[in-house]
Amino acid sequence: MSAGQGAFRERVRSAWTEMRENPGRSTLQALGVMLGVASVLGGFSIADSQRRRAEELFVKIGGLDKLNVQPAAAVKDGTTPSALQTANLGLRGVDAESGESLDRMRVAGVSQQKMARMRVRSPYADQERQVSGIAGDYFAINGYSLEAGRTFSAHDLESAAPVAILGKEAASVFFPTGDVVGQQLRVGDTPVTVIGLLREKVFRFREGQGNIFAWRNRLIALPASLVARRMQGDAYERLDRVTFRLPEIHAMSGFSKQLDVLLTANHRLQRDFRLDDMAARMKKMESQGDIYNMIFMLSGVLALLGGGMVNVNIQMATLKERVREVGVKMAIGAGGREIFKEFMTEALLLTGAGGLVGLAIGIAFSKIITASIGIPLHMEAASFAWAYVLAAVFGFVFALYPAVKASRLSPMEALRYE
């Protein structure tokens, strides 16, 4: 009985000696843990990397932090609209304002958008194009930044000034010489001056894939008031889209509900608008992550189970050698508890060391996989913790059976075991 101080250290030391004395057996036993930890960590990391990439994409394309309001037909086809329905003026700037005043603390930005298809002409090109009449924080919300010139001033937006800001692609089509700011463009019949050029927007999900933001570089932006009033003659300045940005993603569902109630009241209880279903979107994102995690957790657990079986198998295969050993140790004075502790110490040491190696293998594994599918590697501390804790639990559980069995051997039978 190694009672007294330093007993634990002694046990660890002798377990370590034991491991060194039986390198083959120890390596095989640790192998299961290594592979289990590696597959849990690798699985989590690949899922995390993939999800991180998807979130990046989501945020960039106007993801989770934005709420869109669009007009919708309140009247079914073939029915005559009621007086109430015809009296409504659709989605307008006033909706954006009342939405913003609903929760000034949380709304970080509002943008308004009015779409139109127009003939756009320059000295170099003449094309039918979609133009966007915009107002509010459109550029900021959609992640545009200026490369040259200036953005619309409040005065431009109010007075329907004949000015335009171009995306990179649009600029290169209409002004291939590269001289963009200050040039004249005809949109419909209206001559407008280009006052700004936007930086190119690029996002590829994986290396080597196409730029999924190519369409954003086709933007031809004008003040919304210009498009509505001067080009379409709409005195009410109806809008095609109002976007609210809430940096706090968790406030989104609540805000979405409040806005729905407010706009319904404003629109005389006619549902002639449509809100993004944020709750559903959030849920989908989250459940996708959960499924990934479940799958990888399960595969890791299966690997650890396999590893555990291998471990028990090896214990059984070396049983004869071990039983004799236990018999000798018992004869010279090791009690059952001491034998149990020795077995457990050895198993946990093996699990610990194997787990560390497994983490290293897991990192390498994740690197190889993410590199081969061309996304940046993203690993979270929680994944390391999970992988290691799982391994420790499995190591403990699978060590228990042989350890208990060994500790209950009768010294005489163990000594005579053949």
Partner 1 sequence: MKTTETRAIIEVDGLTKVYGANGTAVHALRGIDMNVAAGEFVALIGPSGSGKSTLMAILGCLDSPTAGSYRFDGERVDGLSGSALARIRNEKIGFVFQNYNLLPKASVVRNVELPMLYAGVARRERRERALELLETVGIGDKARQLPAALSGGQRQRVAVARALANRPKMLLADEPTGALDSKTGHEVLALFQDLHSRGNTVLLVTHDPTIAALAGRRVEIHDGLVRPEEAAA
- Binding pattern for the stretch 335-364 against partner 1, x by CB under 8 A and - elsewhere: xxxx--------------------------
Residue 4: strand, helix, or coil: coil
Q: Binding-site residue total for partner 1 (CB under 8 A)?
A: 29
Q: Considering the complex, state which of residue 60 and residue 329 has its C-beta at the smaller distance from partner 1.
A: 329
Q: Does 325 bind partner 1 (CB under 8 A)?
A: yes
Which tokens sit at 24?
A: 């083959």
Round to whole Å and give the CA distance between 357 and 176: 57
- Using alpha carbons, select from 355, 313, 392, 344 the residue that is nearest to residue 31: 355
In the set 161, 330, 379, 406, which binds partner 1 (CB under 8 A)?
330
Cα distance between residue 278 and residue 286, in whole Å: 12
Contact string (CB under 8 A) for partner 1, positions 135-164, x = contact: ------------------------------
The answer to whether the CB of 131 falls within 8 A of the CB of 188 is no
Query: Which residue's entry shows tokens 């690993």?
Result: 379
Q: In this complex, which beta carbon is closest to partner 1, that of residue 2 or of residue 293?
A: 2
Q: By rule CB under 8 A, what string of x and - marks binding of each residue 97-126 to partner 1?
A: ------------------------------
Secondary structure E strands in 215-260:
220-223, 241-245
Q: Round to whole Å and give the CA distance between 6 and 142.
A: 64
Residues whose CB falls within 8 Å of the CB of residue 321, separated by 6 or more in sequence, listed in order: none
Residue 18: CB minimum distance to partner 1, A: 8
Closer to partner 1 at the Cβ: 51 or 329? 329
Among 123, 182, 333, 374, binds partner 1 (CB under 8 A): 333
Decide if 243 contacts 68 (C-beta within 8 A): yes
Q: CA-CA distance, 41 to 360, in Å (whole number)? A: 9
Among the residue ranges 5-13, 133-141, 200-208, 266-274, the one whose residues contact partner 1 (CB under 8 A): 5-13
x-or-dash pattern for partner 1, window 61-100, by CB under 8 A? ----------------------------------------
Element (H, E) at 135: strand 126-136
The distance of closest approach from Cβ of residue 331 to partner 1 in the complex, given in angstroms and rounded to an integer, is 5
Please state the three-class secondary structure of 336-347 as a single string: HHHHHHHHHHHH
As a whole number of angstroms, the distance between CA 190 and CA 134 comes to 17
CB 12, CB 2: distance < 8 Å = no
At closest approach, how far in Å is the CB of 9 from partner 1?
A: 9
**Stretch binding partner 1 (CB under 8 A), from 9-17, 138-146, 261-269, 389-397:** 9-17
Provide the minimum distance between the beta carbon of 396 and partner 1 in the complex, in angstroms, as a whole number: 23
Please tell me what DSSP assigns to residue 227. I
- Residue 267: helix, strand or coil by DSSP? coil
Q: Is 7 in the site for partner 1 (CB under 8 A)?
A: yes
Measured from the CB of residue 344, what is the shortest distance to partner 1 in angstroms? 16
Q: Which helix (H) or strand (E) holds 368?
A: helix 336-373
Q: Are 133 and 156 in contact (CB under 8 A)?
A: no
Q: Looking at 10, 179, 286, 290, which residue binds partner 1 (CB under 8 A)? A: 10
Phi, psi (5° rounding) for residue 363? -65, -45
Among 71, 99, 300, 327, binds partner 1 (CB under 8 A): 327
Taking the complex as a whole, the smallest distance from the CB of residue 398 to partner 1 amounts, in Å, to 23
x/- mask, partner 1, residues 20-59, rule CB under 8 A, reads -xx-------------------------------------
186 makes contact with partner 1 (CB under 8 A): no
Cα-only R_g, the chain: 34
> Which residues contact partner 1 by CB under 8 A?
1-4, 6-7, 10, 14, 17, 21-22, 324-325, 327-338, 410-412, 415
